[in-house]
Amino acid sequence: MGALQSLPGQAEYCDLTAKTGFSFEQIGVLRKRFKQLSHNEETLRRDHFNEIHDLTFNPIRAQIIEAFFDRRNFHEDGQGKVREIGFEEFVVVMSHFRPPSLHMTEEQREKIRKEKLRFLFNMHDTDNNGTITLEEYRHVVEELLSRSGTLEKETAKSIADAAMLEVASISVGHMEPDEFYEGITFEHFLKLLNGFEIESRMTIRF
Amino acid sequence: MDLIVIGRAGTLLFICTILNLLLCSGGEIHSTTTAATIWPPVKPDRPQAYPEKEKSNLPLFTMNYSRIQIPFEIALWMLLASFAKIGFNVYHKITIWVPESCLLISIGLIVGGIMHAVKEEPPAVFTSSIFFLYMLPPIVLDSGYFMPTRPFFENIGTVLFFAVVGTLWNSIGIGIFLFAICQIPAFGLQDIDLPENLLFSAIISAVDPVAVLNVFEDVAVNEQLYIVVFGECLFSDAVTVVLYNMFSFVVELPVTEPVDVAFGVLRFFVVGLGGMGVGILFGFVAAFNTRFTFKVREIEPLIILMYSYLAYLVAELFAISSVMAIVTCALTMKYYVEENVSQHSCTTIRRVVKMLSSISETLLFFFLGVVTITTKHEWNWSYILFTLLFAFLWRSVGVLVLTQIINPFRTIPFNKKDQFGLAYGGLRGAISFALAFTLPDNIGRRQLFITATIAIILFTVFIQGISIRPLIEVINVRRTNRDTETINVEIHSRLMEHTVAGIEDLCGHWNHFYWKDKFMKFNNRILRKILIRDSRAESSIVALYKKLELQNAMEILDTVSGDIRFAPSIISHHETKKRSTKPHKKLLAADLKNMREILSKNMYKIRERTVAYRGKHALPNDSQTREILIRRHASIRRSLQSGSFQSMHLITTLLFFSPPIPDDHETKSEFAYPSQRSRFGKPTHSTSRAMMPMHRLGTLKEVPSTDVLNEQSSSTGQRVFRTHSSYSDSRVPHSHHLNSSFDNSSADNLRNGHGEADAEQEARRQPSSPLPAWAAEPRDNTARNPLLRRPQWNPSKK
């Protein structure tokens, strides 16, 4: 990091810092990385991500990559996917992983927590309809367990089913015999991961 | 009932003590400060076997106590300590409020009092050699072997920082302040000069892990805090021993020169790094050795233990840190060894290590109590009080300052409550005690130091030990919520880890994960090839199972048409009854745990998953293979009895039943080991169950996949269908087994395979009409799942 040299486009970085909460140095680092990934182009596309060697072993790499191209993560109330992203969107998506600093109020913490949970939610909810259905959840669980190679799909399915049941029981409580559990909405999701210390776990030191 | 048991235990304890004392005093050799000789001189008044003139008949009954005296007494002391331990755990409430170490010390005090009253010498345990050579290694080996590696290495910076810098800070600070106090003429301490003070303060700044970890486990503090305290204690032992040696050397010198100080610092590095080097070397040699032991499985535990012990001794030989040596040896060794040795050896090693360390600890605290009473004390109010004050003060200040320094470097900074836990958890213990006793005699105020050390140990262990638990609960230190995890949380925590790992890869971060990855790659390419035996077939119990299962399935298939009923074996009935009477809650916990274990053990491991550290006294929960086999047979028999299976379900039947509910202690505490073990077919908890009581969700209809179910629906029998999986690296076909109910009329039914949700639903629906059966997912991929609202079979509800 070191001393802040004259970064190109420093003015726009002020916006970015305000928007995302990163510091100048961090944005500088991210800029370098962006350039590296995109081979000095202006935008990143999916195939750029596919080139990252270390990601190949990650079972949920598809979801991670998609998360970058998902408009809902851009904090702009958009929906749907884009084909390529610029540096700003890159930073915005990265900002989901910022650690909460020590001097934060409860509200800010809550906000950050919600953001992170929203990010996760979007990762699950691939069809953008605002709920995680069983199929989507199953898909995620399968992906998670896929690389181990030892479990069959049935197990993943049953685990996903059990998990959905839990959500159902936690969030909806008692259900009528004929009710059908549509899917996990964001509120249910929040409730589900209530005790979960996502602020500390979903962070990267930049 | 409790009281009776306590009474019994107490009497037993008392009797044992008396016995011990009688024998000790009846023995003809008194223990001296060195280990007693093996061959005691024969007392003249014993009848000699002279061939005398008068006829002496062959003695019918002789007694030769002196011959067995030493081992006998050792064994008795061990038993006594164990009785004490048993006694405490009888009445559980005591151990909640008073940590075990306190109790042991108290019993030791009592016994010491008795011994003092009968003017008996305590056994000479606290010579430096016995302590350091025999009692300390098992304890440290236990810490090293069961150290959760991932959190440890993640926090290693913090740990080292606290251990090294913290201990230095403490000892130097306390030493200087005490020296200042000694200058005050009123206290009459002027003969203690600075090096002696420093020596003393080095002794008492050694933090002892045992007592504080007991408390932390019980209170279930968050993992970070636990690891830091744990690691700090471990390393501070090493640092303290170095400091002690250094200062005792300095004490001898008439004049201290700067060169000596410089050498001291250098020596510190030599000691630390040397210890680690020796440990790693021995670890690798041991791992390499186990590669070839597949023919002689019985001696595998011995090899492991001996190598660790040798590492310790070799380090002692060179006067480098033996604690570090044995810890690093255990750390290095464990990973490779657990892949090479057989399942039985693995269990044996773990159990033996636990047992040895438990005995050592118990004895240690016990003798602390005894020796407290029986040594000659020199009491000086001012010195001791100031020692206590400064120790506490410096620790708190030290923790505060050090956390301020290190917090910016941590991902999860310590908040004030954690800091309080850290500061208050600085209990002193056995190491200080042993070091105090090994003070050279030429220090004038040796007795004073010993007394002061004992005082501070007792103070911290009793006062801080007893009060830390309520304090932590009151100030609500961040806990691990290990018992309240749901599957979702587990899934999401894995998800998060992978996401974070992925994003880090994206960022191309060169943080400590980078080095870890590099090491892992090196490990995979080179080390594993050398140190791990390739063929794993013999230890792959799962392969064996698969064979058995398939055989059995084939047999059954061959005979199914003939509707052969197997006679219900005693086992199956027994199993049934046993299972059917199990209370709900335990089953749920077990199921959830199984699911969690599957999740935790099967997530891919570019970054090692979080090892849920369950506690120091826990052994990892291995499955019980025999139970699996028994249950499996039972279920097949049962299903055959009722003649209720469909061939399509059984064609690829592979059953792994859940292990039985482990006993309480292990239920609460469990290790999730790295999945490398699972890959090699160690039979671990390898079941998952489809939790399918979906009635409430409306779509699960009864599954009368067999005719017999209808017959039996009169009983409120739950048919539970379990999905089983096994994980091994062989491609085990995974299928389901229809386990229908049985014809016994036990009202409680086989309620396996329920999740939490199920239980609630069941419980609520219990008063209602007979429950329908649950459907499992058949292998034919028709997803019969309530959540998808696709009823497959026609219900025949009753």
A186 touches chain B (CB under 8 A): no
Domain boundaries, chain B: 100-475, 493-532
Q: B487 or B242, which is more confident?
A: B242
pLDDT band of residue B486 (cuts 50, 70, 90) is: low
This prediction has a pTM of 0.59
Nearest CA to B36 out of B151, B150, B144, B123 is that of B123
Q: What is the pLDDT of residues B654-687, one digit of tens each?
A: 333 333 333 333 333 333 333 333 333 333 333 3
C-alpha distance from A114 to closest chain B C-alpha (Å):
14
Q: State the pLDDT at residue B207.
A: 83
Mean pLDDT of B543-557: 58
Question: Among all residues of chain A, which has the CA nearest to that of B762?
Answer: A174
Q: State the pLDDT at residue A71.
A: 73
C-alpha distance from B96 to closest chain A C-alpha (Å):
25
Q: Which domains does chain A carry?
A: 9-96 (1.10.238.10), 101-205 (1.10.238.10)
Q: State the pLDDT at residue B632.
A: 60
Q: Which residues of B touch A179 (CB under 8 A)?
A: 696-698
CB-CB neighbours of B205 under 10 Å? 29
Q: B710 or B206, which is more confident?
A: B206
For residue A45, report the phi and psi dihedrals to the nearest 5 degrees: -120, 175
Please give the single-letter amino acid code of residue B166: G
Given a cut of 80, is residue B776 above it in pLDDT? no
Q: B370 or B38, which is more confident?
A: B370
Q: B205 or A106, which is more confident?
A: B205
Q: State the pLDDT at residue B125.
A: 52
C-alpha distance from B486 to closest chain A C-alpha (Å):
8
Given a cut of 60, is residue B287 above it in pLDDT? yes
DSSP B229-270: HHHHHHHHHHHHHHHHHHHHHHHH-SS--HHHHHHHHHHHHH
Among B530-544, B610-624, B647-661, B744-758, name the most confident range: B530-544
Q: State the pLDDT at residue B633.
A: 61
Mean pLDDT of B612-640: 51
C-alpha distance from A135 to closest chain B C-alpha (Å):
9
ipTM: 0.84
Q: State the pLDDT at residue B306.
A: 93
Q: State the pLDDT at residue B718.
A: 34
For chain A, the average pLDDT equals: 72
Output the CA torsion B237→B240→B244→B247 (10° steps).
170
Q: State the pLDDT at residue B7.
A: 52
Q: B270 or B734, which is more confident?
A: B270
Q: What is the pLDDT of residues B108-124, one digit of tens each?
A: 888 888 887 877 665 65
Given a cut of 50, is residue B38 above it in pLDDT? no
Q: What is the spatial distance between Cα B796 and Cα A143, in angstroms, rounded to a whole number?
A: 37
For residue B609, report the phi and psi dihedrals to the nearest 5 degrees: -70, 165
Q: Could A154 and B764 be called an inter-chain contact, meaning their C-beta atoms sit closer than 8 Å? A: no
Q: Could A134 and B785 be called an inter-chain contact, meaning their C-beta atoms sit closer than 8 Å? A: yes
C-alpha distance from B232 to closest chain A C-alpha (Å):
22
Q: A32 or B514, which is more confident?
A: A32
Q: What is the pLDDT of residues B343-381, one digit of tens each?
A: 788 888 889 999 998 888 888 887 788 878 877 777 888
Q: What is the DSSP letter of B722?
A: E
Q: Which residues of B touch A165 (CB under 8 A)?
A: 691, 694, 697, 755, 757-758, 787
A104 touches chain B (CB under 8 A): no
Q: State the pLDDT at residue B660.
A: 37
Given a cut of 50, is residue B726 above it in pLDDT? no
Residue B628 and residue B546 in contact, taking contact as beta carbons nearer than 8 Å: no
Given a cut of 70, is residue B739 above it in pLDDT? no
Q: Scanning the structure block, which residue is given the tokens 């034919």?
A: B780
Q: What is the pLDDT of residues B506-529, one digit of tens each?
A: 776 544 455 666 676 777 777 777
Q: Could B785 and A193 be called an inter-chain contact, meaning their C-beta atoms sit closer than 8 Å? A: no
Of B404-413, B424-433, B593-602, which range is least confident?
Answer: B593-602
Q: State the pLDDT at residue B668.
A: 34
Residue A115, both tokens: 């953001």
Q: State the pLDDT at residue B314.
A: 93
Q: Could B489 and A193 be called an inter-chain contact, meaning their C-beta atoms sit closer than 8 Å? A: yes
Q: Which residues of A touch B500 (CB under 8 A)?
A: 97, 201-204
Q: State the pLDDT at residue B600.
A: 52
pLDDT band of residue B310 (cuts 50, 70, 90) is: very high
**Can you give B585-614 as a three-state secondary structure string?**
HHHHHHHHHHHHHHHHHHCCCCCCCCCCCC
Q: Could B764 and A174 be called an inter-chain contact, meaning their C-beta atoms sit closer than 8 Å? A: yes
Q: What is the pLDDT of residues B43-93, one digit of tens each?
A: 444 455 555 556 778 888 888 888 888 888 888 888 888 888 788 778 777
Out of B688, B691, B729, whose CB is closest to A150? B729
Q: State the pLDDT at residue B554.
A: 64
Given a cut of 50, is residue A117 above it in pLDDT? yes
**Can you give B619-639 as a three-state secondary structure string?**
CCCCCCHHHHHHHHHHHHHHH
Mean pLDDT of A26-50: 79
Which residue of B604, B685, B724, B769 is the best one to mutate when testing the A interface, meaning the one whose CB has the most A CBs within 10 A? Answer: B604
The CA-atom distances, in angstroms, between B604 and each of A91, B456, B495, B607, B635 are: 28, 48, 11, 8, 33
Given a cut of 90, is residue B313 above it in pLDDT? yes
Query: Angle B52-B53-B57 (CA atoms, 0-180°, nearest 5)?
Result: 65
Q: State the pLDDT at residue B50.
A: 57
A97 touches chain B (CB under 8 A): yes
Of A56-65, B168-177, B179-188, B602-611, which range is least confident?
Answer: B602-611
Q: State the pLDDT at residue A31.
A: 81
A103 touches chain B (CB under 8 A): no
Q: State the pLDDT at residue B278.
A: 92
For chain B, the average pLDDT equals: 65
Q: State the pLDDT at residue B280.
A: 92
DSSP B64-98: -HHHHHHHHHHHHHHHHHHHHHHHHHHSHHHHHHS
Q: Which residues of A touch B509 (CB under 8 A)?
A: 204-205
Of B330-339, B617-626, B633-642, which range is least confident?
Answer: B617-626
Q: State the pLDDT at residue B675.
A: 34
Q: State the pLDDT at residue B15.
A: 57
A44 bridge partner residues: A85
Q: Could B488 and A192 be called an inter-chain contact, meaning their C-beta atoms sit closer than 8 Å? A: yes
Which CATH number describes the domain made up of B100-475? 1.20.1530.20
Q: Could B725 and A64 be called an inter-chain contact, meaning their C-beta atoms sit closer than 8 Å? A: no
For residue A56, report the phi and psi dihedrals to the nearest 5 degrees: -65, -25
Residues in chain B: 798
Q: State the pLDDT at residue B166.
A: 87
pLDDT band of residue B305 (cuts 50, 70, 90) is: very high
Q: State the pLDDT at residue B307.
A: 92
Given a cut of 50, is residue A142 above it in pLDDT? yes
Given a cut of 90, is residue B311 above it in pLDDT? yes
